[in-house]
Amino acid sequence: MAISDWPEDERPREKLLARGAAALSDAELLAIFLRTGSRGRTAVDVGRALLHRSGGLRKLLDMPPARMKHLPGLASVGRRALLLAALEMGRRYLAEELERGFSLDNPEPAARMLTAELRGEPREVFAVLFLDNKHRVIGFEKMFYGTVDGAAVYPREVVRRALEYNAASVIVAHNHPSGVAEPSQADRDVTDRLRKALDLVDVRVLDHLVIGDGHWESFSRRGWV
């Protein structure tokens, strides 16, 4: 049965417009970009097959275009371009919050934007948001890079950049490439070193966010900063 023969409230596009994108499954969202299926299969069927073949939506969208084109249903340049453009649009939408002047008064918006920046990194990346005295963003930098086992963090470099930005506070963050966001003892030790170094120049560490795969943890929420 073709999608056009389905009840109207079950068709992916109509369902999205009536109930919102969150109501759609991953396969239904993919079907909107695929637009058509193949012989004997609807676009939703092709979407399910793509998810199964790639190991899920995240792995599909993280796949290099050169590999993506070999998947059934994505041989078309147009389809691949639509998917990649949608992914980049989402990243840019979140990245706009990193622009100078955006205020961060709780962990949620910071975690949202930092997840977009760090979640896909194959190695640990330590990043810093520099804020003014009203918690508005005045700078963002990925400062230290490591392996999947850890990143070497140098507090003196964070202090130096904080002074150059004339920052009143910072939010630091790093990703766990394993996907597990639970902070380690090493993460706590680094945070203590940073806090002590920045205290000397009257710059406050507001939070340390650990970014996993689809989840994040906040030191401030745990009462650790």
pLDDT tens by residue, 118-168: 887 888 999 999 999 999 999 999 999 987 666 789 999 999 999 999 999
Which of 94, 122, 149 terminates a domain? The answer is 94
| Per-residue pLDDT, 112 | 86
Report the percent of the chain where pLDDT is more than 90. Answer: 41
Q: Quick check: is 173 in a domain?
A: yes
- d(Cα 206, Cα 132) in Å, to the nearest integer? 12
What phi and psi, each to the nearest 5 degrees, are found at residue 176? -110, 105
| Per-residue pLDDT, 187 | 93
Q: Is 104 or 85 the better-scoring residue by pLDDT? A: 85
107 and 206, same domain (yes or no)? yes
Q: Mean pLDDT in the chain? A: 88
- d(Cα 185, Cα 123) in Å, to the nearest integer? 19
Which of 94, 119, 144 terminates a domain? The answer is 94
Q: Are 116 and 108 in contact (CB under 8 A)?
A: no
Q: What is the count of structural domains for the chain?
A: 2
Q: Quick check: is 47 in a domain?
A: yes
Which of 46, 72, 94 terminates a domain? The answer is 94
- The residue-averaged pLDDT of 214-218 equals 90
| Per-residue pLDDT, 38 | 82
Domain of residue 17 covers 3-94
- The residue-averaged pLDDT of 86-103 equals 71
CATH of the domain at 131: 3.40.140.10
| Per-residue pLDDT, 183 | 94
107 and 200, same domain (yes or no)? yes
Q: At what angle do helices 77-95 and 26-34 cross, to 10 degrees?
A: 120
User: CA of 78: how far to CAs of 32, 70, 75, 89, 204, in Å?
Assistant: 13, 14, 9, 16, 48
C-alpha R_g of the chain: 21
